[in-house]
Amino acid sequence: MAEQAVKAQGKAPGQQAKFVEGNLFRHITVMSLTNSVGLMAIFSVDLINMVFISILNQEDITAAVGYAGAILFFTTSFGIGLSIAVSALVARAVGQRNLVMAREKATNGMVLGILFGIIFAAVVWAFLPGIVTLLGAVGRTHELTVHFLRIVVPAQPFLMVGMIGGAILRSHGDAKRAMAATLWGAFANAVLDPILIFGLHLDLTGAAIASVVSRIVIAGVSLIPVIRHHGGFDRPTVAGLRADLSPVYAIAGPAILTQVATPLGQAIVTRMVSGYGEAAVAGMAIAGRLTPVALGVIFALSGAIGPIIGQNYGAGRMDRVRRTFLDGLTFTAIVVAIVTVILFALRAPIADLFHAEGLTRDLVYLFCGPLCLLFFFNGAIFMANAACNNLGRPLMSTLINWGRHTIGTVPFAWWFSQYWGAQGVLIGQALGGVIFGILGVWLAYRMILATPARI
């Protein structure tokens, strides 16, 4: 009778909220590893492009992909911010065992995400030449960067659809199917790159087309399991969209600002590094592509732990929310240590893979060691962001992230560049992250302790 009463209210039996029970460290590990495979697959699309482009052995083309990556990071971060909002709202509904509400939030979140994504991509596309100039690209490198982005940017809304679809799946605890979508997208890119770049001799244009196709694949494959296994979507209504616009914006607005801070900081660093020539930009671009792939598990933490925190918060289990946060920090330390050892041991083969020489090689070596180890503090910031976004304090995560990528980047990068040039820019950027990582953990944990359980 109790189960029938629950269903009559649009709710499902308790097993739907899978994170309110069981070992939290195991939940974190499973969600982070499966989510990271999907996230690494998204970023491996750009890494694969970089590998094949570097075979052409033309510094200006490699640098163009580097500049393009900094701009695509903006649009990708916009999608991540929207997916965080949808994930938080759906996970809370699932934690309350109200699957009707979860489907409603998923529907309105997806539609609003598509609308905002199209508008944002259109604005970026319209101002591409000026944006590329701001990053420091000149001459043929500027032309190549704009050409590449003119093709890829219109496809970014498809990537946003894929991210939001994956967020909905993870909110239901279905990380494996969320992972599959991005794996198929990366596979499509890996197959098409050599065919288009070398087989059809399209060079940079071929890499751009392959990226477009991979984003379309990610969008299509991510929607199928939502429809088949998790109730699909309702028919959207104007009234429903209006009703959910405020809660989506309340989380997505600060979350987008939080996420956009990262590519802003990267754009500032790119501008600084551009003063040391195309070899420096190429080295930074390689490190930038390696980072989310090698450390994809850490990048996945915010999206993976968000549903765990959201479900337990929705179920009123603040003791498990606290344990999730602490276990997440432990998990971060273990992963960063392991990855750093592996990268340091393989630094020479990695540099050879990208045909890196001179300053480009020096920057790759710098990343595959001390800079990678310091990424623990970026992971701590990701953990703080997840806690803030899912406990209704997204503005705090915004302040932490913007602080880290402005006053935690610019003065340190400039200061150390005076002593060590291009390497100093990256060292300063990393050391600024140490300060804000510690600050973020302190603020987020205080917030968790002060947050009352939901009834």
Alpha helices by DSSP H, 96-134: 99-126, 128-134
The answer to whether residue 136 sits within a structural domain is yes
Question: Residue 442: inside a domain, yes or no?
Answer: yes
> Which amino acid is present at 320?
R
Whether residue 361 is contained in a domain is answered as yes
Residue 16 domain-assigned (yes or no): no
CA 99 to chain centre: 27
Q: What is the pLDDT of residues 237-262, one digit of tens each?
A: 787 788 777 777 777 777 777 667 77
5 inside domain: no
The number of distinct structural domains making up the chain is 1
CA–CA dist 84, 254 (Å, integer) = 10
List, for residues 214-236, the tens digit of each pLDDT value. 889 989 888 888 888 877 787 87
Q: Alpha carbon of 370 to those of 184, 343, 413: distances in Å?
A: 33, 10, 16
Calpha distance 93→230 (Å, rounded): 13
pLDDT at 115: 87
Tell me, what's the pLDDT at 365?
92
Of the candidates 130, 137, 189, which has an alpha carbon nearest to the alpha carbon of residue 159? Answer: 189
C-beta separation of 422 from 270 below 8 A = no
Structural domain for 90, as ranges: 33-450
Mention every residue, 6+ apart, whose C-beta is less than 8 A from residue 75: 120, 121, 124, 153, 156, 159
28 assigned to some structural domain: no
Nearest CA-CA partner of 389 in 321, 455, 317, 316:
321
Can you tell me whether residue 355 is helix, strand or coil?
coil
What is the separation, in whole angstroms, between the first and last Cα of the chain? 23
Is residue 431 situated within a structural domain? yes
Asked whether the beta carbons of 36 and 121 are under 8 A apart, the reply is no
| Spatial distance between the Cα atoms of 417 and 423, rounded to a whole number of angstroms | 7
Q: What is the pLDDT of residue 101?
A: 79
This prediction's pTM? 0.68
Residue with tokens 């560049």: 417
Which pLDDT belongs to residue 428?
A: 92
Encoded tokens for 415: 């200061």
Q: In which residue are the tokens 């539609």 written?
A: 111
Q: Distance of CA 162 to CAs 42, 78, 117, 185, 389, Å? A: 10, 13, 12, 10, 20
Residue 393 phi/psi, 5-degree rounding, is -125, 55
Determine, yes or no, domain membership for 13: no
CA angle 401–392–240, rounded 5-degree value: 115
Write down the pLDDT at residue 436.
92
Query: 1 and 140 in contact (C-beta within 8 Å)?
Result: no
Q: Is 11 helix (H, G, I), strand (E, B) or coil?
A: strand
Name residue 435's amino acid: I
Q: What is the secondary structure of 17-70 as a DSSP string?
A: SGGGSS-HHHHHHHHHHHHHHHHHHHHHHHHHHHHHHHHT--HHHHHHHHHHHH
Residues of the chain with pLDDT under 50: 1-15
Which residue is it, tokens 């979507």? 233
How far, in whole angstroms, is CA 317 from its chain's centroid?
A: 27
Q: Quick check: 406 and 387 in contact, CB under 8 A? A: no
Helix, strand, coil % in the chain, rounded to nearest 5: 85, 0, 15
Asked whether the beta carbons of 407 and 264 are under 8 A apart, the reply is no
Q: Is 346 exposed, middle or buried (0-12, 13-18, 19+ CB in 10 A)?
A: middle
